[in-house]
């Protein structure tokens, strides 16, 4: 092993620690609040800071998931206004989505969740929702052990990147969760940072229950993108009924089934249905019977009216 090569034993220890923590989490129920702030450019060329709050109630079990999502935006008057709400479920086969405000439902094959959760609740072993810690471990060119003043042990990874360098600190006694992160650009300036991290142990497993990530804009501090997460783990490894992960659409709901290529209205009684998304609407059996009855009544009434008139 060369002088610049990372200590493979330490990396293996980190991987084993991550796996051990994840293996303790078979299912969980959590409430997550996310706050996002970012600069947006309007059509007229002006820029404004947009702020969002996202509330998620998540039930996860071995890859299956059900979650309710509410998103609020900060309006011009400084008040939080609900932008949209939806419920989603994935049962291992299909994804179902329901939007209450529009009374629409969607059925799709596979995992099509907008915010697909995992055992680490997004942030334990990944950065900015997409960079996985396992990828960073594979590309690390240095790892050091750092002892903190509070007695905690951190593994400090240095990972080169095309645009700079990642510095990642893992909490060795807390499931090797990401305690902190810094991304430095090729120009030597700090490009992004994870900070203010809090970790909580529930049923033997460690979760990140609060953290903040910032992507810096060096031209304008107000343009910094901020992502803050605060989570409450309500239950871990409790039995979850299978029915939890098969969302039932309420009445009335217009359902688009992208698996079968059909669209239909759930109502009481069923009113309309069409066999394919490209076909015209067709009356359902119940509606056809009702229509035939109405036609018969009209015909009979017309016959008697004409007969009396004669």
Handedness of CA 107, 109, 87, 242 (dihedral sign): positive
Which residues have CB under 8 Å from 296's CB, separation 6+?
none
Domain boundary among 194, 225, 243: 243
Q: Note whether 253 and 213 are same-domain residues.
A: no
Question: To which residue do tokens 């009684």 refer?
Answer: 269
Q: Is residue 195 domain-shared with residue 299, that is, in the same domain?
A: no
Per the listing, tokens 């989505």 go with 97
Tell me, yes or no, whether 3 lies in a domain.
no
Q: Do 254 and 227 fall within a single domain? A: no
Q: Are strands 94-99 and 80-90 parallel, antiparallel or unpaired?
A: antiparallel
pLDDT tens sequence across 181-228: 999 988 889 989 998 899 999 999 999 999 998 888 777 665 688 889
Please name the residues in contact with 149: beta carbons below 8 A apart, sequence gap of 6 or more. none
Do residues 143 and 156 lie in contact, with contact meaning Cβ atoms separated by under 8 Å? yes
Q: Which stretch of DSSP H or E encloses residue 180? A: strand 177-185
Pairing relationship of beta strands 47-61 and 64-74 according to DSSP bridges: antiparallel
Tell me which residue of 71, 118, 70, 109 sits closest to 90, measured CA to CA. Answer: 109
Which residues, 6 or more positions from 291, have their beta carbon under 8 angstroms from its beta carbon? 283
Instruction: Report the pLDDT value the prediction gives residue 78, as an integer from 0 to 100.
Output: 81
Tell me which of 243, 271, 290 is where a domain ends: 243
- 3-class DSSP state for residue 215? strand
Q: Is the alpha carbon torsion for 241, 250, 70, 125 positive or negative?
A: positive
The two structure tokens encoding residue 293: 């009855």
- Phi then psi for residue 123, to 5 deg, are -105, -10
Q: How many residues does the chain have?
A: 310
- Answer whether 274's CB lies under 8 Å from 262's CB: yes
Q: What are phi and psi of 75, to 5 degrees?
A: -85, 180
- pLDDT reported for residue 117: 66
Is 129 part of any domain?
A: yes
**Residues 201, 57: one domain?**
yes
Determine, yes or no, domain membership for 213: yes
Tell me, yes or no, whether 183 lies in a domain. Answer: yes
Handedness of CA 28, 73, 95, 229 (dihedral sign): negative
pLDDT of residue 243: 93
Cβ(282)–Cβ(292) below 8 Å: no
pLDDT at 47: 64
Q: Is the same domain home to 49 and 160?
A: yes
Give the single-character DSSP code of 61. Answer: E
Are 274 and 143 contained in the same domain? no
For position 283, what pLDDT does the model report? Answer: 44
Does the residue 226 lie in any domain? Answer: yes
Burial environment of residue 187 by CB neighbours within 10 A (0 to 12, 13 to 18, 19 or more): exposed
Of the three residues 243, 265, 293, the one that is the final residue of a domain is 243
Residue 1, domain member (yes or no): no
pLDDT at residue 294, rounded to an integer: 47
Calpha distance 6→38 (Å, rounded): 36
Q: Give me the tens of pLDDT residue by residue for the chain, a chain 310 residues long.
A: 444 556 888 999 999 999 999 999 999 999 999 998 876 655 666 666 788 899 999 999 988 999 999 999 888 788 888 888 999 999 999 999 999 999 999 999 998 887 666 777 767 787 765 677 877 788 888 899 999 998 899 999 998 888 889 899 999 999 999 999 999 988 889 989 998 899 999 999 999 999 998 888 777 665 688 889 999 999 999 999 999 999 999 999 999 999 999 999 998 766 555 555 554 444 444 454 454 554 456 445 555 555 554 5
The answer to whether 164 touches 184, Cβ cutoff 8 Å, is: yes
Counts for the chain of helices (H) and strands (E), in that order:
3, 19
- 84 and 155 in a single domain? The answer is yes
- pLDDT for the residue 45: 61
Asked whether residue 235 falls in the same domain as residue 255, the answer is no
Contact 236, 267 (CB under 8 A): no
Please state the pTM of the whole predicted model. 0.77
Q: Are residues 28 and 167 in the same domain?
A: yes
The reply to whether 207 and 279 lie within a common domain is no
Give the per-residue pLDDT at 186: 87
Q: How many domains does the chain have?
A: 2
Is the domain of 54 the same as that of 108? yes
Full domain range(s) for residue 300: 249-309
């Amino acid at each position: 092993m060369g002088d610049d090569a990372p200590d493979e034993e330490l990396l293996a220890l980190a991987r084993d620690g991550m796996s051990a923590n994840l293996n303790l989490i078979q299912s969980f129920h959590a409430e997550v609040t996310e706050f996002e702030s970012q600069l947006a450019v309007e059509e007229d060329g002006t820029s404004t800071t947009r702020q969002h709050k996202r509330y998620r109630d998540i039930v996860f079990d071995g890859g299956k998931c059900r979650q309710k999502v509410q998103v609020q935006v900060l309006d011009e008057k400084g008040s939080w206004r609900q932008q949209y709400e939806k419920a989603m479920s994935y049962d291992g086969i299909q994804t179902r989505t329901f939007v209450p405000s529009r009374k629409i439902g969607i059925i799709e094959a596979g995992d099509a969740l907008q915010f697909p959760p995992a055992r680490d609740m997004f942030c334990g072993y990944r950065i900015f929702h997409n960079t996985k810690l396992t990828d960073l471990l594979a590309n690390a060119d240095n790892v050091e052990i750092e002892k903190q003043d509070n007695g905690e042990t951190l593994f400090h990874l240095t990972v080169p990147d095309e645009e700079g360098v990642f510095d990642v600190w893992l909490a060795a006694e807390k499931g090797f969760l990401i305690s902190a992160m810094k991304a430095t650009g090729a120009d030597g300036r700090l490009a992004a940072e994870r900070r203010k991290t809090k970790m909580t142990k529930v049923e033997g497993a460690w979760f990140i229950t609060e953290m903040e990530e910032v992507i810096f804009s060096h031209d304008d501090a107000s343009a910094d993108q901020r992502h803050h997460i605060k989570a409450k783990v309500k239950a871990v490894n409790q039995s979850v009924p299978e029915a939890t992960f098969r969302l039932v659409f309420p009445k009335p709901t217009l359902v688009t089934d992208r698996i079968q290529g059909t669209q239909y209205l759930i109502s009481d009684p069923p009113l309309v249905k069409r066999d394919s998304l490209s076909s015209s609407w067709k009356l359902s059996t119940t509606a056809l019977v009702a229509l035939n009855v109405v036609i018969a009544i009209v015909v009979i009434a017309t016959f008697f009216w004409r007969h009396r008139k004669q």
